[in-house]
Structure 1
Amino acid sequence: MDSEIPYSLPDTVPGMTLPNVVLFPQATIPLFIFEPRYRKMLAQVLEGDSLMILATQDQERARHEDTFEPYHPSATLGLVQSSQKNPDGTSSILVQGLMRVTAETTYQEDPFRIFSIQPVHSEPGASPLELEKHANHLNALVQRRSELGSKISKEILRFFEKIDDPEILADVVSHSLIPQTDKKLQLLQTLVVQKRYEILFEYLRNEIRELELISKLKGNLGEDRIGWN
């Protein structure tokens, strides 16, 4: 089900290992490039095909192992969509996720990492009709969450509603609305689209119940709306 990239996938790609950062396919993330090693990496990326890897630093291993920036192998291949170089040599870039990959090993460590990668493909896990129903229900949960006071702009809500691919919707919602790194990693590592929806449904329903309880305690919600899911 994954979106195809319009060129052959390289075996090795330069990349960054960042704490608490998870990029999803089709989502975008702004990054500020200031470390000398990543300035060199960006220069090489822009001279080539503008592809780079974003891997999430494994904080648990970092606390217990004498390993330089250990990372989770589940990562995302990204495309540098724009890059603005500043007078001091730093850069502001915008990276769009393209596809899930496994960052198997590091082909190079110095001065920056180059990852050996393998593509990872998703499975639907349900019929197109069922996934369409899941997508509609996900949008309904996001809308209800917004009604209860969770901060999300109307523009983002409209953007979600216009996404007609259930897999892309699940990934973009995961990227945009899930703050916890471990939960994002779980969703990135889940290769069956239906199971991603199950994780998102459980997460959002729990949030909605908490928001409804808070609203009820404040006296702003009728009894008939408690437990909406």
Structure 2
Amino acid sequence: MSDQRLPIFPLNVVLYPGTTMPLHLFEPRYRQLLKDIREGDSRFGILTSISGVPERDLPLGRMGCVAEVTEVEMMPDGRANIVIVGRERFALDEFVPDDAPYHVAEVSFVADTPGANAVVLAVTSDDVAQNFKRVVKAVHAINGESGPLPTLPDDPSQLAWTIASMIDIDSDLRYQLLAERQPAVRLASVDAVLRKVLPDLELRAAMAQKDR
């Protein structure tokens, strides 16, 4: 059963719950979308598109994320720069007829399923956070940069999404992390990416510091 009807913006990005993203709106239909939602709750759906698939042909069940507009910079010609924050995940139920120039769909909200023991999840989460911090420190050393480490959430169910929004991963994995309903699996996937790059990054960091 559908939970809500949402304006939909199919886009070749993945927005995660609890993360922010800047967007530039230039198409007339999305300028209208922005105008309409600002008169309501400032929310619409980012639906992750598929290369080569027409927007209205995206498969039922395709995952997306509710986007809430938190900042708007309007330009004289009607274009806009906005900042959005991810809220609930949703699955596409169906596109519905509407007079709006943008897509509108019935969607169902998606929650995590029970999985790993809370203590195990917390320990795993801490390990992933430490590996991410090691990656960031190595990158800073390589680039001769300094500064504070990114702030990470305490919630293990949120951590993988926050880290994924800050690192370079392929689009398929990015989408899989959105669709995955077990936090432990999301954490393991992100940790595998971090562990793969860590040895090379820390070696390069040590060499860079030696040369200075």
What is the TM-score when the length of structure 1 is the normalising length? 0.79
Q: Which amino acid aligns with 2:8?
A: G
Deviation at 1:116, TM superposition (A): 1.1
- The aligned residue for residue 46 of structure 1 is 38
Whole-angstrom CA distance in 2 between matches of 1:145 and 1:115: 40
Secondary structure of 2:108's aligned partner: strand
Deviation at 1:71, TM superposition (A): 3.9
Whole-angstrom CA distance in 2 between matches of 1:15 and 1:154: 38
Whole-angstrom CA distance in 1 between matches of 2:17 and 2:123: 21
- Unpaired runs of 5+ residues, structure 1, are 1-8, 222-229
- Unpaired runs of 5+ residues, structure 2, are none
Contact 1:17–1:69 (CA under 8 A) maintained in structure 2: no
Secondary structure of 1:148's aligned partner: helix
Deviation at 1:167, TM superposition (A): 1.1
1:107 and 2:99 matched = no
- The aligned residue for residue 168 of structure 1 is 158
Kindly report the root-mean-square deviation, in angstroms, between the aligned alpha carbons of the 2 structures. 2.5
Whole-angstrom CA distance in 2 between matches of 1:80 and 1:96: 7
1:191 and 2:181 matched = yes
- The aligned residue for residue 23 of structure 2 is 31
Counterparts of residues 44-193 of structure 1 (less than 5 Å): 44-59=36-51, 62=52, 67-68=54-55, 70-71=57-58, 73-108=62-97, 111-149=101-139, 154-155=147-148, 157-160=149-152, 163-193=153-183
Contact 2:17–2:87 (CA under 8 A) maintained in structure 1: yes
Deviation at 1:47, TM superposition (A): 1.0
Structure 1 stretch displaced more, 143-152 or 170-179: 143-152
Count of residues paired in the alignment: 203
